[in-house]
Structure 1
């Protein structure tokens, strides 16, 4: 019986080390720049070896996008659980706003939400990271388009509407992220309000449901 808690404790220790590396890396990126920060400096800040760093992350880029991956997975889950009677764009709108409302729950146990929010500015200002961000966004949009098609009873490869709607949605999200990250207020409330207002401009165009009956 005494051996049962050990896997849980071991996993908690691993999460603690991973989270410490994340926080140290992000703080170094913000303080001295992403490109000027080395893996050795990140490992040293947590008093672990470079080898330990690479047990958790493939590289510095993986660190920057770690909480973004968590938030994206959370968003996909929210889209899947939206009421089936909601039109596609409305489901996406409600899911993304719900995602921002719950961002603290999604990533707050990994790093402070403030650090996660600041990564948006880091990504926008670092060409290599921004290129990766665009690629990851395209991959997420394809995943979401397939979720929407499944919700609506459509074949995503035969009906263009899921991909078109998600492309419009993704474009709005990229615009709001860019404007928000360049502004003076990078709070959750600010990005939520901006996202809602911009999505509302396309709402009349894509508000209809597509159920095939």
Structure 2
């Protein structure tokens, strides 16, 4: 490179960096505002117009970040699910399926809690979860989304173990059991006053560690 030439890469703090930060702030403002309106006046009663008016942006800006109102409601959950799948893909092949899923779930929350630049805070997760649980239309959509996540997880587990999920049911059975415990844990966590990352990890570990004993052996006292 001769004197006077500059690299094509954007400089830290340059125009590209400023634009990206502005985009993140706009998306975060839309997300926080929408969830706040959903909780105070109800999901069904809240319109896109009200959300954009509160943030002082146009509808065009809203649809640049979210396809519709439901996409805003599930934005937090989608980010959590994506982190879990990413962590699961990185687990060592030597780990048994349940241990790999357990570690992926716990590491996903640890990573989230340590990333100060993320707009997916614990407080936002709690607000989104409680809003979904209290809205019948969203609760039904959440169930459908969970089915999709279970299919992706089962496919990953089957690939790790070298089995065909269409002919070998073990991956689907394992994921169904794991997902059931995770749903129960989420419900317990969402109802607690101390609904932070530490509380979620504590509940998750407690109940996942009981999965094996609950499925095998006798429950009766000796």
| TM-score of the two chains, using structure 2 as the length reference | 0.84
Flag structure 1 segments of 5+ consecutive residues without an equivalent.
Answer: 208-213
Cα deviation digits, residues 161-212 of structure 1 (max 9, x gap): 00110011011111111222123332222222111111111135789xxxxx
Q: How far did 1:39 drift? A: 1.1
Does the residue aligned with 2:209 lie in a helix, a strand or coil? helix
Large movers: runs of 4+ above 6 Å: none
Between the aligned partners of 1:85 and 1:137, the Cα distance in structure 2 is: 27
Is 1:70–1:106's contact at 8 Å kept on the other side of the alignment?
Answer: no
Larger Rg: 2
Does the residue aligned with 1:12 lie in a helix, a strand or coil? helix
Aligned CA distance change for structure 1 residues 110 and 163 (closer, same or farther; 3 Å): same
Number of positions where the alignment pairs a residue of Structure 1 with one of Structure 2 = 207
Between the aligned partners of 2:127 and 2:140, the Cα distance in structure 1 is: 18
Q: 2:94 is matched with which residue?
A: 85
Q: 2:171 is matched with which residue?
A: 162
Is 1:145–1:166's contact at 8 Å kept on the other side of the alignment?
Answer: yes
Greater relative CO (CA pairs within 8 A, separation 6+): 1
Is residue 74 of structure 2 the alignment partner of residue 65 of structure 1? yes
Between the aligned partners of 1:191 and 1:22, the Cα distance in structure 2 is: 22
Q: 1:33 is matched with which residue?
A: 42
| TM-score of the two chains, using structure 1 as the length reference | 0.87
Q: 1:211 is matched with which residue?
A: none
Is residue 125 of structure 2 the alignment partner of residue 116 of structure 1? yes
Q: How far did 1:76 drift? A: 0.5
Q: How far did 1:63 drift? A: 0.6
Cα deviation digits, residues 27-72 of structure 1 (max 9, x gap): 2222322222221111011111122212211222111111211111
Flag structure 2 segments of 5+ consecutive residues without an equivalent.
Answer: 1-5, 217-222
Is residue 205 of structure 2 the alignment partner of residue 190 of structure 1? no
Is 2:76–2:128's contact at 8 Å kept on the other side of the alignment?
Answer: no
